[in-house]
Amino acid sequence: MRILLMGNPNVGKSVFFSRITGMRVMVSNYPGTTVGFTKGSMKLGGEEVEVIDVPGTYTLEPTSKAEEVASEMVESGDLVIDIVDATNLERNLYLTLELLERQIPVIVALNIWDDTAHRGISIDVARLEELLGVPVVPTVAVTGQGIKELVGRIPEATSPPSPRRTRDERWAAIGGIIKEVQTITHRHHTWLEGLEDASIKSLTGLPIAALVLAISFIVIRFIGEGLIGYVMEPLFEHLWAPLMMKLSGLLGAGGFWHDMLIGKLFDGEIDFFQSMGVLTTGLYIPFGAVLPYILSFYLVLGVLEDVGYLPRLAVLLDNLMHRIGLHGYAIIPTMLGLGCNVPAIMATRILESRRERFIAATLISIAIPCAASQAMIFGLVGAQGWRYVAIVYGTLFLVWIILGLILNRTVRGFSPELLIEIPPYRLPLWRALLTKLWMRVYGFLREALPIILLAIFAIGILYTLGVFDAIANFTAPVVSGLFGLPKDAVTAIVVGFLRKDLAIGMLTPLALSASQLVVGCVVLSMFFPCIAAFVVLARELGIRGLLMATGIMLAATIVVGGLLNLIL
């Protein structure tokens, strides 16, 4: 048996899914598309049934690829749990009527039920159930209220006879239903609703946005540095380093396997940044230097998501984003890129046109440093003074704006208007927040760790074969002449294709000045994305789009790196 979870965007569908499946999930792409869906399982009457979290949609008459996939998936389901936002009943019922017309068994979860009382909304559930002809159960997915009752009533799901209607006939039918089942009483705004209004108006919203983002990055840095200084560094220095020194003695200094696994020793000791061994630098970079920032970033991002602030930020920045060929919702993948470019590029699927997806993915690849890279930028450049960190981020922000303006004028296509549901502010449920944090961190480690270990191993072999010396000689006019960096910096630039954070870390032993570090970090941030992001970029944009994005990367990196070197 296959159960489909369907509903409008931002109705709590994913939280509902995690409740009934226990997060035993698998994420897949719908065949022939890049639109993803989540699949899990649950026990129903002693039988294990498949549960699919269908992409959010407002209608089965698709206007985007995600809605097209949702419409097609209806045909493959045995039963639909229709997640309806009880605080926006009129709009949500449009999809409900369309599902009933498809003659598939339906049960309605009247979600966000707790907010109806806060908003002065009263719904006659029994009458609504009678009018629709299917079971209707009030639920609060974030707390689990009503979930058990709904699962127990799944066998009652029915497909009552429902004639095909036109769009106008559906809205007329919805109007009649709302008139019979819903009453709204007047009440005064709460302070939280006042904050909701203030955070979406330009005059007050922009200062609030600046404050929220500033606090977010302070918290990210505080948690990240705290984890590094008090957890990761002591673990590596006092527990892992002695074990590696014993292994070094067993392998014998100078041998091939010693150089591959342990790397070089400095004054008879392991330097986790410079040794370049698979078991030293290869493990320290992802776990010791990067994971703390990944944890802190995704924790803060999860809070902003669950509180309901990100959709408001999207609406607030819609005018700015339209100037660079996007609409406000593109701020979501852009912010994801500050954690990891891979899910950020994949998240561009939420954008409706191919033009938007190309511009957003290209800008993310060039001007948005991932959390791993930011960890290294904070560590290396921050030691020289925070004004240099500001120069790095200021330069990348200007590149994002200017390059976006250029792409908006040169890339053909259209950017549709922003149509987005804005949920009310809610306190996040920590269980759901931590579950989402674990899934994201696990995904990062599963994806990044093998690549980093392979990169370290490959670098060791390339060093042995003298490949980097040959590349350094060939690119010296650009690296040394244009960027003002020593010839050895080409090694870091080449390694940047494998892993950005590792490449930035390789600037450490070059004894660069503060200005050179700024140029090096900007060039490495803008140059080719890491190989994982590069592969995803190819999959999302196609070969032609990838080649176009690659050309833009190269040109932008050379121009910006050269200008920055001249200015500094």
pLDDT by residue for the chain (568 residues), tens digit each? 889 999 988 788 877 887 787 654 444 333 343 355 678 888 887 788 888 888 888 888 877 666 777 888 888 889 999 999 999 999 999 999 999 999 899 999 999 898 887 788 999 999 999 999 999 999 988 777 888 899 889 989 988 988 889 999 999 999 999 999 999 887 666 777 778 778 877 788 889 988 988 888 788 778 888 888 899 889 998 999 899 888 888 887 777 788 788 877 887 888 776 677 788 877 887 788 778 877 887 888 888 888 888 878 877 887 778 777 777 778 878 877 887 777 678 778 767 678 888 999 999 999 998 877 887 888 888 888 888 889 999 999 999 999 999 998 888 876 655 556 667 788 887 877 888 788 778 876 776 677 667 766 777 677 667 776 777 677 777 787 888 888 777 777 776 766 677 778 778 778 788 888 899 889 888 987 776 677 778 878 888 898 999 999 999 999 999 999 888 8
| Sheet arrangement for strand 2-7 | 25-29, 36-44, 47-53, 2-7, 79-85, 106-111, 136-138
> What amino acid occupies position 483?
F
Using the structure block, give the residue that is written with the tokens 């070059």: 510
Q: Which pair of structure tokens corresponds to residue 276?
A: 């370049």
Exposed / middle / buried, residue 256 (Cβ in 10 Å: 0-12, 13-18, 19+): exposed
Q: Which pair of structure tokens corresponds to residue 242?
A: 């002695």
Give ∠ CA 326-327-333 in degrees, rounded to 5. Answer: 80
Number of Cβ within 10 Å of residue 46's Cβ equals 5
Alpha carbons 140 and 213: distance in angstroms, whole number: 29
Helices H / strands E in the chain, number of each: 27, 11
Instruction: Give the pLDDT score at 403.
Output: 93
Residue 356, CB-side half-sphere exposure with 13 Å CA sphere? 25
Q: What is the dihedral of CA 253, 254, 260, 264, to 10 degrees?
A: 70
The answer to whether the CB of 357 falls within 8 A of the CB of 541 is: yes
**Domains by residue range for the chain, with CATH:** 2-184 (3.40.50.300), 202-567 (no CATH)
Alpha carbons 213 and 56: distance in angstroms, whole number: 27
Torsion-angle region of residue 166: left (phi > 0), alpha (psi -120 to 50) or beta? Answer: beta
Helix 467-476 to helix 430-465 angle (10° resolution) is 90
Beta strands 36-44 and 47-53: pairing type? antiparallel
| Among candidate residues 184, 162, 185, the one with its CA nearest the CA of residue 173 | 162
| Among candidate residues 494, 485, 498, the one with its CA nearest the CA of residue 535 | 498
Alpha carbons 286 and 483: distance in angstroms, whole number: 28
Instruction: Give the pLDDT score at 38.
Output: 77
φ/ψ of 230, rounded to 5, equals -105, -10
Torsional sign, CA 422, 437, 444, 22: negative
Q: Which pair of structure tokens corresponds to residue 367?
A: 């001007």
